[in-house]
Structures are given as structure tokens and as C-alpha cells.
Amino acid sequence: MSVPSTRRAFLSSSAALLAAATVQGQGTPKPPVLPRPVPLGLDNFAVRASNWKATRLLGYAASLGADSLFISDLDAFESLEEPALKKLKEDAAARSVTIHVGTWSVCPTSKAFRPANGTAAEQLTKVIRVAQQVGSPVARVVLGTWEDRLTPGGIGRHMDSLVSVLKGARSQALDAGVKVAIENHAGDMRADEVAALVEMAGRDFVGVNYDSGNSLWTLENPLDALETLAPYIVTTSLRDGVVTEIPAGCRVKWTAMGDGQVDFARFMPRFAELCPGVPIHIETISGVGRDIPFLEDAFWTAWPRLEGQSLARFLRVMRRKAPMATTTTKPNDPLEQRREIEKSLAYCKGTLGLGLKSAKVGPA
């Protein structure tokens, strides 16, 4: 099948931009100088294979000198009753650890939605309540995954569905003093779409959980996504990644911090400037990869508005020289997951200058 003239023009312009990006993307970044301290913590999904509950997770985070713990799944709590949550809040305060809370999809039209856990409104109400009672300033939720982009109506239909659910919880969120944080999740939305969703729902009670690894799944340079989402970011789930060329496009593999190609030496000073007080949570999911066949016509059905310049800026990541490090081959091994998060936190403290505490990173 011949390539349409518009597609041929797109690929031609992208090739020229890529050539320029290849030159600009070289070089070793200098150690960053942060304009202000940045809290550092971990997302419990980084140690998911250990099956730890909230109390154990808090102890682990404190032992690593973390400033914050992101419990991004309500199943990780021993109990969702108020006395248990109040006790966890007190224990966290005693250890000088801030807790952030999350749950999964509250978009009823998404393939990722779990109706067995209640209606979307009920699930959103629950996570806001838990956040308030445990002292979390945010309640993270997601829309879905990249598969939602290929359903009838495209991602716009699901964005409208989620906005409707969010608006129904506005009063509760404002009364609780909790920001509902929408994550750019598993390739569901690019940064501009997430920003549009927040504006549609209401910036007074909705913000963003920014995930750098998921930006790579939407062909975004994480630094560009940061610039777009910074006004809305209230929490984070970050990881590094390696982007390699394949015949159909590229392959993205997530890695420990410092093992990939994302220019965090540039990212972190900008983050500190634009997102004061927001913690960096590390969510290592090393070993997980996804092929992105952007050289195939069928791929563009899900991304009809992606511009050539944006793609070129993403490809700058691929053209950066990655450290000589191997990605874990045992992504579901508890010990390997702990090694990856501990290595990442050490890198963030020692190389990127993150964290408010002087505690040395080490095993629990």
C-alpha cells in the first residue's frame, strides 16, 4: 500500500527534525543545581511483589530516608476504617514521612475500569475519604490505558466520561482539602490531553500525577510533558527508560533511575522551579517493555493529532547515549524490585540532589 501524500510529507519533515535532534541530543549533562529542595519518596508499586501492607511500607520508606510514600492502591492498606487510617497518619508524622494515596480507573467507559469495586462515583468517593483520613493532600486516579484510544469515539469519549465523574465529587474533594490527581497512565493520554481534562473538570479540585515512564509510551519527551503539565502537577511517579529503534518504530523499556536515557539532570532543576514542594516518587517497573510501531499506518489511528516536531523531540531521547547498564530480567522478583528502588533512590540522592533528609539509602 502506498503512503498517502500527507503521511509522506509528515515523515519527510520528521526526518529533517530528527537529524537536527540527533546533533542536539548528544553530550553528557552537568550535575544539576536545584533552585530549592525537592522531597523524595517511593511509590509502593515499585515493591509490589513483596505484598507489603501500609504499615510495612511506611517502615521501609522511613528506613530508606524517604520524605514521602505514595500508596497508590487501596488494597495495600490493612484497613480502610478511620481508626486504622488515623493511626497510620500519626505513625507517618512521627517518622517525618508524608503519605500520598491513590486508586485505579474511575472512568466507567474505560477498559481498565473495575466495576466489581463499585460505581465510578463510589470508588472516587472512597479514595477521597481515605486520603483525607490518612492526611494525604492528593487522591490519585486514572482514566485507563492506550487501548481506550482505539475504542469508538476515541480517547475524547472517555475523557468526557471521566470529567462527568470528577465533577460529581467536587464538593467532597474541596471539603476534604484533597486534590484529585489524574495520572497520564499506560499510554492513555498525552500531556496536552491531561491538561485539557483538568481544565474541563476544574483546576480548583483536580490536578495531575505526572508519570515520566508513561510519557514515553505516548511518544513524548518527559521534559516536554513536564513543561505542559507543571501548572497542574500535585504528585509524581517517575522512572527512567531506554528507547531503542526497531523496524516498526521503537521499543520502550523502563529502567531504574540513572540506567536510562531520560535527561533527569535537566529535568530536576526545572521540576524544582515549576513544582515547589511537590515530592518526587520513584516507581521502578524495570524490565517492562512495549513496542510502539509509529512507522506503520495503522498506529496513527489512535494518534491523529500528533505533530512531527513533537515526535522528533521524543526521538531525542532515543538518540541520547544510555549508560552501560542492564535492565533487570526478573521484574517480578521481590528482592530484585527492592534492589531497583534502593539503587534508584541512591542515584536520586547522590547524583540528582533530591531529598530533604540526610539518611543513607540502604536495605530495610
Q: 171: alpha, beta or left, given left = phi > 0 and alpha = psi -120 to 50?
A: alpha
* pLDDT at site 3: 40
* pLDDT at site 361: 44
Distance CA 10, CA 299 (A): 14
* pLDDT at site 224: 97
Q: Phi and psi at residue 19, in whole multiples of 5°? A: -60, -40
Residue whose C-alpha cell is 472516587:
124
* Burial class (CB within 10 angstroms; exposed 0-12, middle 13-18, buried 19+) of 28: exposed
Distance CA 260, CA 242 (A): 5
Among 266, 258, 278, 253, smallest CA distance to 222 is for 266
**CATH architecture group of domain 31-350:** Alpha-Beta Barrel (3.20)
In tens digits, the chain (364 residues) has pLDDT values of 444 444 444 444 444 444 444 434 444 445 578 999 999 999 999 999 999 999 999 999 999 999 999 999 999 999 999 999 999 999 999 999 999 999 999 999 999 999 999 999 999 999 999 999 999 999 999 999 999 999 999 999 999 999 999 999 999 999 999 999 999 999 999 999 999 999 999 999 999 999 999 999 999 999 999 999 999 999 999 999 999 999 999 999 999 999 999 999 999 999 999 999 999 999 999 888 899 999 999 999 999 889 999 999 999 999 998 776 666 778 899 999 999 999 999 999 999 999 998 544 444 4
In this structure, what C-alpha cell is assigned to residue 271? Answer: 521540576
Predicted structure pTM score? 0.89
User: DSSP secondary-structure letter at 238?
Assistant: B
* pLDDT at site 43: 98
In this structure, what C-alpha cell is assigned to residue 153? Answer: 469515539
* pLDDT at site 1: 40
Residues in Cβ contact with 359 at an 8 Å cutoff, skipping those fewer than 6 apart: 64, 65
Sign (positive/negative) of CA torsion 108, 113, 118, 121? negative
Sign (positive/negative) of CA torsion 344, 350, 352, 356? positive
